[in-house]
Structures are given as structure tokens and as C-alpha cells.
Structure 1
Amino acid sequence: MKITIIVLVSLFLLSCTSEAQIYPGKNWSRTENPSVTGWDDTWRSVFTRYVVDSTNITGLIIIHKGQVVLEYGDIEENSYIASCRKSILAMLFGKYIENGTINLDKTLAELDINDVSELLPIERKAKIKDLISARSGVYLSGSNGGDFRRYAPKRGSVQPGTHWLYSNWDFNAAGYIFEKETKSTIYDEVESQLAIPLQMEDWDKSLQTKTGNYEISKFPAYHMWFSTRDMARMGLLMLRKGKWKGKQIIPEKWVNEIIKERTSYLEAQKSVPLLKEDGLDLGYGYMWWLVENTMDYRLKNAYSAQGALGQNITVYPEIDAVLAFKTKSDYGRRNSIQTQMKVLKKAVEIYNPD
């Protein structure tokens, strides 16, 4: 009887702890004294100085245990987030996979997918899950640039699912298929699944626009514009395994699938040797980058949405933290991927709870 009571009390306390997790309401709340929770004032100042002096970041925010511990620049302005859009699309899939609307094992042939350049028979065997893990084996040009297609093997030389290559054709086709299967638009789904339930402060649906060269591919890029602080809300949702204030927004099982390794950092670097120069070893899940091969406990199991010029959402599960930053392209500013990786590391190096 005594053991039963102890177990019940433990479960009750665990439940209370879970419910006590902090979420932003209409606005983010701020930690009153970050230094007490491990974010030393001096080191936060040093980090901010680094961002000012050594990067072109225009807005940055660090969230710890659901509250702001550091912010820099303009975190309210909406601007282009480049390839972070792909990670957001991955989040939207969960609802429709859970209810059976989307079957990740459907092939391009079953979906009747073709393009300006005809797909080869072997390419039509690719499945939806191959597209969202960048393993389709389809090496057509996407309607927009900014990928690693220059490292692609010869068309038709690999079986779908057996080779990783970061290719915009995969991601754009995945967006097209998402809309085809759900009979909804990506931007409507961002609004209903994310912007409204997460109480995004700056979401503006009218800014969202698809673009692409339709003479190259009929699948456009579904570009997105967000503020830094709203990007942080999506990072916190991922950190909380899809749960927001007691409601499961994204199925927890799907969040775990998104950040499950589909491609190791070794395979990614073999396919694209340039990745060896990034400064962090990154594997790949379902349209999210995975931090691997690190000895820093603060970086273990971390994962990121990353975009060109300097767009980033990084989740650090081991320390209950989220980093979001942007570099507004309208200002003619940009950051290299190496700079982005330095920011990812330096952001948590200032966290020392002991």
C-alpha cells in the first residue's frame, strides 16, 4: 500500500511539472534574472557583442524554459526565411499522416507526378518519405536554386531511398503533393495549424508567396515570411513535442519521426563534401538538420531549421532551450553557413547552470 501511494504521488508530481511548463501568451514573458538560471550577464553581453561585431544577423532571440533570456535586433519584422520553410512544411504533415490523408509510402507513380522533363521509370518509384528525407533519387532541377544538385549522381543511377542529396526538386514536389493530398494550401495550413494556436504576434498571410521558374519545373517554391519571435514559437512547439498549453498541436509521434536520423552526418558529408567545412557535423531527418558527433552536452540531440543568408531555428532539448535568428535580405546582409554554425555553438556556450 505504501509503495502504491508513493507511485501515485510521483505520477501526480510529474503531471504537475509537465503542466507547469511555460508558454508565451499574446506576448513572450522574460526571465527576471537570467544569471540565476545559468545565463550569466557578462557572458550574454559577450555573446551579443559577437553577434554585433562578427555577424550580419538582424534579429535574434534565445528562449529557455519557455521564457526570453536574450534578444537582439528587430525580432518583430517579418522577412524571408529561405529554406526554413521546408522544416515548417515537415511540421504540417503530421496531422494528415495521423488521420490517414497522407501515406508516406505512396510513390510518385501512384500520385501521377511528372514534370516539365519526364521522370524516368526508376524515379517514379520514389515515395513521399523519400522526398521529405532528400533521398528521392530524382535529380531534376528545382524551379528555384539554392541546393546541392551539382553533387548529384547521374539520373537513373540510384534507387530511390538509397542516396541523400539536398535538392529543391524534392522539397518543392513535397509541397505540391501535400496540397494535392490534403486539398488545402500550405499557407492556409500554416495559419490554422501554427499561427492561430501558437498566437503568433506577427503572422501575415498576405506576405506568403510561391515563386519559381515554371519552364524548368512546374513545382514552385512555397516561400515564407516570419518574424524572429514567431520562429521561436515554432521552435518551442518542437521542443515540447508538438504540445502547446495542454493541446497536442502536432502529433508527438510525428515530431519524433521528423527528428529521427534518416541520413547520418558521415553519409551527408560523403554525398556533399562541402558540408565538412560547416563547423558542426549535421545529419538529416525529415526536412530538419540534426546536430551529431558533438561532445558538448548542451548540443546533444539538437536539431535545426536552416535557411540561406542566415535564417535559423535551433532546438536544444538537453537544456530546454530554443534559438531563433534571421538576416533580412532586404538590407543586403547575409551570413555564411559557417557563421550560422558558430552562432549555434556560442549561443549555448554562454549557458552554465553550475
Structure 2
Amino acid sequence: MKRRYLLVALAVVLVAASVLTYLIQTGERGLGRQERPLRDLEVTRLDAAKTEDLGWDSKKLDTLFNYAAGLSTDSFMIVTNGQIVGAFGDLSKSYSAHSIRKSLLSTLVGQQLASHTNELRLEATLQELGIDDAPVPLTQLQRQTTVRHLLRSVSGINHPAAASGSLQADIDRRLGHSENQPGTIWAYNNWDYNALTTVFENATGSEIAELFHVGIAQPVGMQDFDRSAVSYAVDLQQSKHRAAMFKMSARDLAKVGSLYLNRGAADGQQVLAENWIELITADFTETGFGGLRSGHGYLWWIPEEDTGLPEGTFWAWGLGNQALIVIPKWNTVIIHQSDTTEFRKRFIPLTTSEKMTGEEAIMQLIRSCRERAARETEYCIEHRFVTRSEFEKLVSLVVAARE
């Protein structure tokens, strides 16, 4: 069977990682707060009576969608009890999911653990599984890392990784450059996720695209996913472990969220291990970031209580504030997507030709859309980067619409 491989240029990989690290650590210093011109969006909404029956305040949803119209969000949808409360954008168009890929990998692991043919053992060590790395090999202590350690981001292994880039500064701060006892230190570490991809594919004997198609996409009834939506970022000078990248549509991401709302069941079958959701929401690690990214468990983020999101909420996050938010207490899934293509076209020259740091480049691009002459340009209205502070306000308006 023909497989489609994508060798991602290192410069593009560095872009995604640089921006991700910056958003985690700084939050743009409030530069994303200026008023934006509203776009002419076709918003799909339930009528007021049905909206209220589902627990939403219709007028406050007006405020929410008006705010979203001032961002460069490409697709946004709220689904409660299986009904689309409100949405805009082409919900069938697939965008790069960026780091949402990690939560999709988690979903695949949960699916595999529910399978009667499962060969994946969470307590198996890398040594038992024959997992090493090159060009820098693992030490004997590092090879005692288990599959569960990789899922919980606590391997403690500070190795170069494909698609890591400027994440390395935060990893170095947390892990240092000496050996760490596996299971003792958390770090948002692409090495863990890429090694987990290798472990998963070795254990199953199949590639991510095939297993996701058969194990997740088909059972939940995805409409837009096919195997070509999965590609790999590879950097053999850093590591032999590949990063499996996804492109997903909003309505297909919503199907993933609905799978979790249904406690891992779809179409009468148990797709995910029955305890998978409990592991995500109970066996998580405090990250030190606070806010929406206060905890991290089994490749999903756990928000703090003061965000207003109810206990039991977990979510997936990617570059450009791609988001898949699962809120079991509201029986709700929220999807936010933004196409980062045009942003990256401007960002890459600033960090290569202009020699700016990732932080300097993103701040310049944010400031450029504050200038009066630029605000009305297509880029600043349709394609600019949705900042962390803007996304946090969007979430706060979601919460307000439930109060």
C-alpha cells in the first residue's frame, strides 16, 4: 500500500515550535487586545428557545460570536447534546492541527487499549521494547522509561527531537542536561511524543494514518479524514523518531470530542478504554503554566478552576490556538481553528533573513496589525495570528454565555 510521507523543512518546524514556546511562556504582553474590524461571517445559530434549552444564554452568545468575528479565526463551533449551538467557517475544510496531534495520538492509544488485539503495554520499558535513539543513544537509566511515562510527559529524557525547535529552552530549564529518574519531572517534550509514535507503530505493526482511519475515523463517522491527512516531520540529524502530523476539519475534530463525551463509545461499540477519560482528568501533572494549561495528562491539557471551565474539562491545543475543548459537565465540545499558512510566510523571513528571535518576530507581526493603515488589509483581517490573550478572552466569553 502506498504511503504518503512528508519531509518537513527544518525551518518550518522551528517556526511552529518557536511560536508555541513563546505563547506558553509570555502570552504576547497584551499586544493582541486592540479592536479589530468585524468580518462578514455567515454564522449558523440555533433559535433562542433551543439555545436556552441547551443551557446557553442567546444574547451572550451574540457577544461571543461578535468577538470571534474580529479575530482571524477560520472555523469555530459549539456543539451541545450533539446539536450545533453556533458555528461559522467551512466546517469541512481541513487545517493543520499542529500540536493537537498529541491528543489525537493519545486517543489512538486509548483505542488500542480497548482492542482485543492490543499489544501495547503501558508499563513496558523502552529497554523491553527495544527502543533507542540515534545519533545520541539512550542511557541505561533512560531506557527504564515506560510507555506511561511518555504519555504523561515525564520521561525526563532531554534529547533532540523532530519538530521541537525553540521548545528546547523550556525543556533545558526543566530537565537540565544530565540523567533524570524517569517519572519524576514533567516537561512539554516532543521527544516523548515522537518516541511514543515509534512505540505505538512498532506494537501495532501499522502506521498512524491507517490505525486512525480504521480505529477512530470510521467508528465515529468522520466525513473529511483520509489517510493522506497524516504526514511525518523527520529530522534524522536530531533523532530517528518521527512526529506524526495531522490535518483535520472542524466537524471531524468535533467527532473526536463527542467520542469522549460518550465515554469512549461510538455506534454501539466501546472505542476507547473505559478508564481513559478518568486517567486524563485524574492522573495529570501540574505544569506551572496556570490558566488553561495548568495541568497536562495523557497528552491533554487540564484548565485551572479559575478559568470558569467546569471540573472534568480537558482540551487539545496547537499552534495558532487550534483547540478541541471537551466539557463533559456541559455535554459540550468546542472547536477553534485558524489557518497559520499566511502567518508563517511572514514569520519565516523574519527569523531567517532578518535574524529575529521567535519572540521578536511574533511581536513585530502583532504590532504591524495595530497600525491604522494595516488593520484593513486582508492579512490583518483574515490571516493574522490569533494570540493567546485573544483566545483566553474567547474562552471567557464562552464561560460567560453559560452563567
Query: Does the alignment reach a TM-score above 0.5?
Result: yes
Determine whether 1:124 maps to 2:126.
no
Q: Which residue of 1 aligns with 2:130?
A: 112
Residue number in structure 1 paired with 2:101: 85
The 5 Å alignment of 1:301-340 reads: 301-332=312-343, 333-340=384-391
Match of 1:61, SS state, is: strand
1:287 to 291, 299, 305: 299
Please name the residue that 1:102 is paired with: 120
Residue 255 (structure 1) shift = 2.8
8 Å contact from structure 1 (residues 84, 305) kept in 2: yes
CA distance in 2 between partners of 1:202 and 1:96 (Å): 22
**Counterpart contact for 2:175–2:185, Cα < 8 Å:** no
**Deviations along 1:54-74, whole A, 9 cap, x unmatched?**
x32110110111110010222
SS in 2 for 1:313: strand
Residue 225 (structure 1) shift: 0.3
Please tell me whether the aligned partners of residues 152 and 296 of structure 2 are also in contact (alpha carbons under 8 angstroms): yes
**Which amino acid letter does the alignment assign opposite residue 186 of structure 1?**
I
CA distance in 1, matches of 2:203, 2:386: 36
Corresponding residue for 1:23?
none
Q: What residue ranges of structure 1 are gaps of 5+ in the alignment?
A: 1-28, 270-274
Which of 67, 71, 75 pairs up with 2:83? 67
Q: Return the letter of the residue paired with 1:344.
A: V
1:306 partner SS: strand
Structure 1 residues 58, 295: closer, same or farther in 2, change over 3 A?
closer
> How far off is 1:305 after superposition?
0.7
Matches of 2:226 and 2:55 in 1, distance apart?
35
- Tell me the alpha carbon deviations over residues 273-293 of structure 1, each in whole angstroms, 9 at most, x when there is no partner: xx24xx435211100111233
Cα shift at 1:31: 4.8
CA distance 1:70–1:135, change in 2 (3 Å): same
Give a deviation string over 1:262-311, Cα, whole Å, max 9, x none: 302xxx11xxxxx24xx435211100111233373x42221001111121
Secondary structure in structure 1 of the residue aligned to 2:185:
coil
Residues 43 and 30 of structure 1: is their aligned pair in 2 closer, same or farther, counting only changes over 3 Å?
closer
CA distance in 2, matches of 1:189, 1:108: 22
User: Does the 8 A contact of 2:133 with 2:239 survive in 1?
Assistant: yes
How many residues are treated as equivalent by the alignment?
A: 312
User: Where does residue 222 of structure 1 map in the other structure?
Assistant: 244
Question: Deviations for 1:235-286, whole angstroms, at most 9, x for unmatched residues?
Answer: 111111101233212122223223323302xxx11xxxxx24xx43521110
- Identity rate, percent: 28
Q: CA deviation at 1:36?
A: 3.6
1:35 deviation in Å?
3.2
Note if 1:172 corresponds to 2:194. Answer: yes
Query: Is the contact made by 2:281 and 2:313 (CA closer than 8 Å) also made in structure 1?
Result: no
Structure 1 residues 58 and 294, CA, compared in 2 at 3 Å: closer, same or farther? same
Alignment partners' CA distance in 2, 1:321 and 1:343: 16
Q: Which residue of 2 aligns with 1:142?
A: 161
TM-score, with length taken from structure 2? 0.73
Could you list the per-position Cα deviations for residues 157-198 of structure 1 after superposition, in whole angstroms to 9, with x for gaps in the alignment?
Answer: 420000100100000100111000110111111101111111
Whether the 8 Å CA contact 2:292–2:301 is kept in 1: the answer is no
What's the secondary structure of 1:252's corresponding residue? coil
Single out whichever of 154-163 and 76-85 deviates more from structure 2. 154-163
Q: Whole-Å Cα distance in 1 between the matches of residues 324 and 112 of structure 2?
A: 23
- Given candidates 297, 305, 311, the residue that maps to 1:300 is 311
1:57 & 1:295 partners in 2: Cα distance?
Answer: 21
d(CA) in 2 for partners of 1:342 and 1:302? Answer: 17
Alignment match, 1:14: none
Using the size of structure 1 for normalisation, the TM-score is 0.82
Q: Which residue in 2 is equivalent to 1:48? A: 65
Residue 293 of structure 1 aligns to which amino acid in structure 2? Answer: E
Change (3 A) 1:95 1:201: closer
Greater shift after overlay, 329-338 or 302-311?
329-338
